[in-house]
Amino acid sequence: MFKGLFNEKIELIIKGVKCKSYSKTHGQCVKLLAVCLAIVTLASCGEKTGNSMFQAVKNAADAYRSYLSEVRKEENLPTERLIEKINDWQSLRDSVSACIAKDTANCIHANYESEIRGLHDSLRIEFTRLALEKSRTFADVLLIKEKTSQYRQDTELAQAVTDAEPFFRSLDSVVPCHGNAKQTVSIYQSFLANTLKSGISGKSEMLAFIKEEDWLFRSFLSHLPELADADLSAITRDTEKCCLSIFQSAENGRLSYRDALVYTARRTNRRIILNALACRDDINQGNVKTEAQAKAYVWMLLQPYVALDGFSVAVLSDMERTTLHAVADRTPQMIAKLNKTAGTGNDQWQVLPGVLIKIMLTSI
């Protein structure tokens, strides 16, 4: 599962990623990770092409057509039932795709393949209808991500997460530094520059990088009201380069693919969660006072629902899941409070959970 992650296109994609605010910097490594996972997914699909319940494309098309008719009869599904139907759809899609991939007479079955593509688009429309016809919550968004992840039953990945847990749990014992915002940013920049000079050539260097970066990130979060909308693109750029160094080490055989992918994903998850908790605390303590700050905090509160993909939620620890759901339960009230600070009575955020679920469905 962990092999075949990297290719030369990754660096080209990263070079085009820029971000003004450091509140969004963790999103850059999320994008890099997404590229790796896309490659893993493609490789996995290739390995499954021989596994299909159908012997002929016609049978696959008939089954997909029948399933579409079944879904069209559904309405007002509670979230748990919607999750079941999404998983049914994904299983059927995988089997249909495998049937098409192993078929050796594509010219003969071109009409069936075209029909299957049309049926798939129709299923997306129907599932979008089901997602939007009932009010959904931010907790629902997390639940759907978790329970429809293609990695949720991967025992090898679960073991890798267990192996990494003691390291990430130990990070909380390191006390953040107490310098001011300017000093913290300066130390952060120097750390990244020095890391780029020395490189990250193996697991020990990767763990050292994650540990010190975590310390600096938590130090940064203590100044979040001051820095939430600051231009810290230099830190963004150098962080991307450090992450790329980890991936390159795996590609060069100095670090296992498993460790590079799992530790990087866990690192990114942790940053997203810490950021969300810092937002919650600042909002509760009345530290968000300006319109610009309020807008930046709304964006940061939405990061868990935007940035976490199927792989990311699969490597969450139980404690992290609990924390994210607790934040999700409070997200509506926090956004409402931020809107008030920004001087707007806008309640359009109430449709955001449905929109986020719709975006997820378009990737199936």
pLDDT tens, residue by residue, 215-271? 999 999 999 999 987 888 999 999 999 999 999 999 999 999 999 999 999 999 999
Res 34: pLDDT: 47
Average pLDDT, the chain: 85
Res 4: pLDDT: 39
How far are the Cα atoms of 29, 34, 35, 85 from residue 200, in angstroms, in the given order?
Answer: 16, 21, 20, 44
In a domain, residue 61? The reply is no
In a domain, residue 79? The reply is no
Structural contact between residues 169 and 211, judged by C-beta atoms closer than 8 angstroms? no
Residues facing 21 on adjacent strands: 231
Query: Per-residue pLDDT tens for 285-318?
Result: 999 999 999 999 999 999 999 999 999 999 999 9
Res 2: pLDDT: 56
pTM for this one?
A: 0.84
In a domain, residue 345? The reply is yes
In a domain, residue 90? The reply is no
In a domain, residue 181? The reply is yes
Give the integer Cα–Cα distance in Å for 315 and 165. Answer: 10
Tokens of 82: 């919607």
Residues facing 231 on adjacent strands: 21
Res 164: pLDDT: 96
3-state SS class at 233: helix
Structural contact between residues 142 and 322, judged by C-beta atoms closer than 8 angstroms? no
In a domain, residue 201? The reply is yes
Contact residues for 122 (Cβ-Cβ < 8 A; gap 6+): 68
Residue type, 298: V
Residue 38, pLDDT above cutoff 50: no
Res 343: pLDDT: 86
- Higher pLDDT pick, 14 / 94: 94
Helices (H), 199-317: 203-221, 224-227, 233-251, 257-284, 291-307, 310-314
Work out the number of other CB atoms within 10 angstroms of the CB of residue 117: 12
Residue 348, pLDDT above cutoff 70: yes
Mean pLDDT of 83-88: 97
In a domain, residue 48? The reply is no
Within a 13 Å sphere around the CA of 334, how many CA atoms are in the beta-carbon half?
A: 28
Phi and psi (nearest 5°) for 231? Answer: -90, 100
Res 24: pLDDT: 47
In a domain, residue 225? The reply is yes
**Poorest-confidence range of 189-203, 273-287, 334-348?**
334-348
Res 123: pLDDT: 97
Within a 13 Å sphere around the CA of 174, how many CA atoms are in the beta-carbon half?
A: 18
Ramachandran bin of 286, using left for φ above 0, alpha for ψ from -120 to 50, beta for the remaining angles = left
Torsion of CA 98, 103, 104, 106, to 10 degrees: -110
Question: How large is the C-alpha radius of gyration of the chain?
Answer: 22
Res 211: pLDDT: 97
Query: Per-residue pLDDT tens for 87-107?
Result: 999 999 999 988 888 765 555
Share of the chain above pLDDT 70, in %: 84
DSSP at 231: B
Res 23: pLDDT: 46
Ramachandran bin of 363, using left for φ above 0, alpha for ψ from -120 to 50, beta for the remaining angles = alpha
Work out the number of other CB atoms within 10 angstroms of the CB of residue 159: 12
> Number of folded domains in the chain?
1
Question: Structural domain of residue 214, as residue ranges?
Answer: 9-40+159-350
Structural contact between residues 38 and 252, judged by C-beta atoms closer than 8 angstroms? no
Burial readout 169-204 (b: 16 or more C-beta within 10 A, e: otherwise): eebeeeeeeeeebeebbebbeebbeebeeeebebbe
Res 299: pLDDT: 92
Residue 21, pLDDT above cutoff 80: no
